A and B are shown apart, each in its own frame.
Chain A
Amino acid sequence: MHHSLIIAMVFVATLSFSACRAGPSGPQVSVEDAWSRPVPAAGGNSAIFMRLVNGGSEADQLLGGVSLLAGAVEVHKTTMEEGVMKMEHSPGLEIPAKGEVSLEPGGYHVMLIGVNRALQAGDTLPITLNFEKSGEMQLEVQVREVK
């Protein structure tokens, strides 16, 4: 066999092995259908709801985020105990491997704390979400009329 052919084969083999390693391992998180509620005046709080889908083979965690339009962005969970509404600051929300998590009214939400201007239905809100493994993800959130 020619040397160049062997080298080519080894090259292709290495390439395909490294491709195998980089591809499916690690989390693959995407954000779907992110929307938030309107806020009537600056200084108020709001909640962002979304679906977090992880197509990867490793779990990841949503830690929080930042936005130029709010003082702070945190993950919170609403809980109801015997008719009493409570809220917890969640240090991280796990998105299982090959799974998804839905942030919905009554459950988890990304809380916008102290918005610096009113948010009206139809506005878009730029926000950066921070994941433990996937790092930072920038997205535009739709402000929707409360139904």
Chain B
Amino acid sequence: MLKTRSNVKQAEPAASLIRWPALVGLIALLLTACQSYQFKGTQYPDSQLAPDFELAATNGERFQLSHQQGQVVLMFFGYTSCPDVCPTTLAEARRVLEGLGEDADRVKFVFITVDPERDTPETLGAYVTAFHPAILGLTGAPYELAAVRQAYGIFAEKEVLEGSATGYIVNHTARTFLVDPQGHLRLSYAYGTPPEDILEDIRHLLG
């Protein structure tokens, strides 16, 4: 609205009628923008498609990541002889799945073994289902598993423990990865992330 000297005094009351609501509206808009969802996990900067792979699942089927569109997929790399970190993570996975209630149908949690030598499909299956029946163990030939680890930047190394009855342990990256329903690698979570944080992020992505 043009303000000229001749009509300023007349225009002012009308302008102020518009000015205040506009200001309020602008502030409201800014506030809602500030409240846009903050992910708890570490975000991947670009929207990249999660590297695809296909492995044998402990439910007897083949699991192909790109066929999981519509689902949120959580991935963790570990092994069943691990007494501490892996059970903790799987227990947290259980809490997430239980916290989702009916929405648990739309989430897949997969535990990919870094120890195919000892983790037979039977051992792996018994191990993951003891935490929650919906958790899938994934295994395959060592070269197949190595390819998946490489795609996701996962370190895994066998270490013989001298003088220990364990034989060997596997040192491995302990990080949980989240693939969204559109198949993009969106988030990752450090070991020890509270299950509630993962739950919130999942709920936001399921919409």
Which of B11-19, B31-39, B165-173 forms part of the interface with chain A? B165-173
Size category of the binding interface on chain A: 20 to 34
A85's contact among B91, B126, B163, B173, by CB below 8 Å, is which?
A: B173
Whether the pair B164, A112 counts as a contact (CB closer than 8 A) is: no
* Contacting pair B164 A74 (CB below 8 A): yes
Which one of A38, A76, A84, A89 has the greatest number of beta carbons of chain B within 10 Å? Answer: A84
Contact B190 A83 (CB under 8 A): yes
- Interface residue? A80 (CB, 8 A): yes
Expressed in whole angstroms, the Cα–Cα distance for A43 and B169 within the complex equals: 15
For A105, give its contact among B88, B126, B159, B174 (CB under 8 Å).
B88
Contact A45 B83 (CB under 8 A): yes
Taking CB atoms and an 8 Å cut-off, the chain B residues in 117-157 that contact chain A are 123, 126-127, 129-131, 155
B173/A83 in contact, CB under 8 A: yes
List A residues 46-65 near B (Cβ within 8 Å): 46-47
| Residues of B close to A80: CB separation below 8 A | 85, 174, 191
Chain A residues within 8 Å of B126, by CB: 40-41
Which residues of the partner chain B approach A93 to less than 8 Å between Cβ atoms?
none
Which chain B residues numbered 80 to 96 have a C-beta less than 8 Å away from chain A?
80-85, 87-88, 90-91, 94-95
For the complex formed, measure the closest distance between the CB of B79 and the CB atoms of chain A, giving whole angstroms: 10
The answer for the CA separation of A43 and B130 in the assembled complex, in Å, is 15
**Contact indicator B83/A47 (Cβ below 8 Å):** yes
Residue on B with the closest CB to A36? B83
Residues of B contacting A106 in the complex (Cβ-Cβ under 8 angstroms): 84-85, 88, 192
Q: Is the CB of A46 within 8 A of B83?
A: yes
Task: Determine if B161 is an interface residue (Cβ-Cβ < 8 Å).
Answer: yes
Q: Which residue among A72, A87, A89 has the maximum number of chain B CB atoms within 10 Å of its CB?
A: A87
Report whether B171 and A111 are in contact in the complex, using a CB–CB cutoff of 8 Å.
Answer: no
Q: How far is the CA of A41 from the CA of B131 in the complex (A)?
A: 12
Interchain CB contact under 8 A, A84 and B171: yes
Is B108 among interface residues, defined by CB-CB distance under 8 A? no
Contact of A47 among B80, B84, B190 (CB under 8 A): B84
Q: Which chain A residue shows the least CB distance to B165?
A: A72
Looking across the interface, which residue of chain A has its beta carbon closest to that of B192? A106
In whole angstroms, what is the CA distance A38 to B90 when docked?
Answer: 12
From A45, A74, A85, A147, contact of B171 by CB (8 A): A85
Q: Give residues of chain A (87-105) contacting chain B, Cβ–Cβ below 8 Å.
A: 87-89, 105
CB atoms of A44 and B80 under 8 A apart: yes
Indicate if the CB atoms of B84 and A113 lie closer than 8 Å: no
B40 an interface residue at 8 Å Cβ cutoff?
A: no
B174's nearest neighbour on chain A, judged by CB, is: A85
What is the distance, in angstroms, from B152's C-beta to the closest C-beta of chain A? 12
Nearest residue, chain B, Cβ from A70: B165
Residues of A within 8 A of B83 (CB): 37, 45-47, 76, 87, 109, 111-112
Q: Is B175 an interface residue (CB 8 A)?
A: yes
